[in-house]
Amino acid sequence: MFIRNDYLNLQLLQQQRLSLKNMNQATERISSNSRINQYSDDIGALSVTSQLNSLLRSNAQGISNTQDAVNLLNVMDSGASTIKDMVQHLRDLIIQNQDGSLSQADKSALQLEFKQTISNIEDIAKTTKYANKTVLNNSSIQLNGSNMYVDLGSSYKNVATGNHTLETTFTVDKLPVGERAFVYGFEGKHHAIEVNPDGSLMFQTWLVDGSGTANSYTIETKAGFVKENETYKAIGVVDTDNQMLRFYVNGEEIGNLNIPADQSLFDYSTSYWGNLRLGIGNNPGGQYDYPFSGTVSSGKLYSNAFTSREISATFNGRDTNNGLVSEWAASNGIYNTAGTIMNGATLVNDKINIRSGASLADKTQIELTNLSAKGLNLYSLSIDDANALQTVDSALNTVLSAKSNIGAQINAMTYRQQQLYSSFTSSSQAVDNMFSIDTAQESSIISKEQLRLQTTLTMLQNYNDHKLKAVKLLNQ
């Protein structure tokens, strides 16, 4: 006997399944208002849209970041405008003071107002902040990685071998080559924060055993930790109460080590190796200079061992003066009495990197400024000084230049934001186009498949009826 497959029945059933599938797909598209609802709908389009969605999210964050930058610059501009008005007022007071008809009492009142205005300029520069960051009292010392450094003097040898904390904020322009670079700490037998050629950052100190033999100990990050043009706040803690050394960077503990029971910290209070330094560990030209290429904005020495809570507070801008032995800040300019700028090191404005796009390379730098009374060289100025008018005019020019720079940066960030908006809009439109549906077309598909399904069902019914009649005839 030869049995044949019922091909017509199979074809009708297959067509029925296909019609149901097409109807369900069209209904799903209309319900979701999206052409693609699962990966199998359009593999190529989904791959493209995944990339576009990633770009969209990056651009959206870039737009937010640039808006933060614009807000920061607007805060700077507002503060700078106030300082400009105050510096102009200083100029008016100087000219008024030259009026020969004024009495001595009048001149004394003008001098008092002059000094108070200078004090107000200093306060505004220090208290103008955005997101807890000071924006008008920011400078760093530029070090060239060759022979520039700052010597903070030998008057800080009083930490001896007890508890203390070293703290510094810096930016690396170039990683050192061959040898490590000295950022901040005690010269000579380095008790310092240093950068290694492999991009690791370390806290180095020397310990002495009972025989007087000194040995170097370090706590350091992984290689590649330090990135050029990025800013770091590093804190080294010597906790002799608990025989412990600890190292923190940007508020996070990098590591710690126990001070061996038979050893103590090298005594910098009795050694000629007692000066605090920025940029170079020894005098230029020596074998162990280890010059640093970058900027340093501050260096502090405390006579107590910071706790983890104090570390966190310091990183978040809530500095403590508890136990402060030495504080050096580049923003204090030439009126900083804690250290001497040497070998050509220069003051520069601090910068903030803004991530303003989808890739890591999309960075825009915001340049801060130093419009404090110290930074403007007004801090010790008297209304009666022979060069008072020239000094104030120079300060006014500095403020006006800073305002122009702020305005230019606002324009640049606004333009960058417009670029991001344009990219965001284009990408959004591209995604919408890929996912958008033609409702009329999908409705037409449903109608067509419904008709096809009905026809198939009718054909199946008629076909099966004919087969049933044939079987009945055979059975008679």
Q: What share of the chain is helix, strand, coil (3-state, %, to 5)?
A: 45, 25, 30
Residue at 458 is within a domain: yes
Same domain, 171 and 287: yes
- Whether pLDDT at 172 is above 90: yes
Q: Give the pLDDT confidence score for residue 2 in this predicted structure.
A: 46
- Whether pLDDT at 52 is above 80: no
Last residue of a domain, which of 309, 327, 349?
Answer: 349
Which secondary-structure segment (H or E) carries 434?
Answer: helix 388-435
DSSP 278-335: ES-SSSTTSTT----EEEEEEEEEESS---HHHHHHHHTT----TTEEEEEEGGGGGG
User: Please, how many CA atoms are within 13 Å of residue 221, restricted to the half-sphere of its CB?
Assistant: 23
Q: Give the pLDDT confidence score for residue 203 in this predicted structure.
A: 97
Domain coverage including residue 413: 46-133+401-424
Same domain, 129 and 144: no
Q: How far lies 332's CA from each of 395, 400, 421, 441, 466, in Å?
A: 15, 20, 40, 72, 104
Q: Give the pLDDT confidence score for residue 31 in this predicted structure.
A: 63
Residue at 1 is within a domain: no
Residue at 392 is within a domain: no
The CATH code of the domain that includes 195 is 2.60.120.200
Q: Which of 56-60, 123-127, 429-433, 460-464 has the lowest mean pLDDT?
A: 429-433
- Whether pLDDT at 350 is above 60: yes
Residue at 383 is within a domain: no
Q: Give the pLDDT confidence score for residue 346 in this predicted structure.
A: 83
Residue at 262 is within a domain: yes
Same domain, 285 and 336: yes
Closest CA to 373 of 363, 365, 381, 361: 381
Tell me the C-alpha distance between 444 and 26, whole Å. 9
Residue at 150 is within a domain: yes
pLDDT band at 3 (very low <50, low <70, confident <90, very high): very low
Q: How far lies 411's CA from each of 70, 77, 138, in Å?
A: 9, 13, 22
Residue at 216 is within a domain: yes
In the chain, DSSP finds a helix count (H) and a strand count (E) of: 6, 20
> What pTM did the predictor assign?
0.72
Same domain, 124 and 199: no
Same domain, 328 and 469: no
Residue at 283 is within a domain: yes
Tell me the C-alpha distance between 239 and 471, whole Å. 102
Same domain, 200 and 266: yes
Same domain, 127 and 160: no
Closest CA to 343 of 143, 188, 202: 143
Average pLDDT over residues 187-200: 90
Same domain, 112 and 191: no
The CATH code of the domain that includes 53 is 1.20.1330.10
- Burial of 80: CB neighbours in 10 Å, binned 0-12, 13-18, 19+: buried
Amino acid identity, position 26: A
Q: How many domains does the chain have?
A: 3
Same domain, 270 and 222: yes
Same domain, 326 and 405: no
Same domain, 92 and 125: yes
Same domain, 146 and 99: no
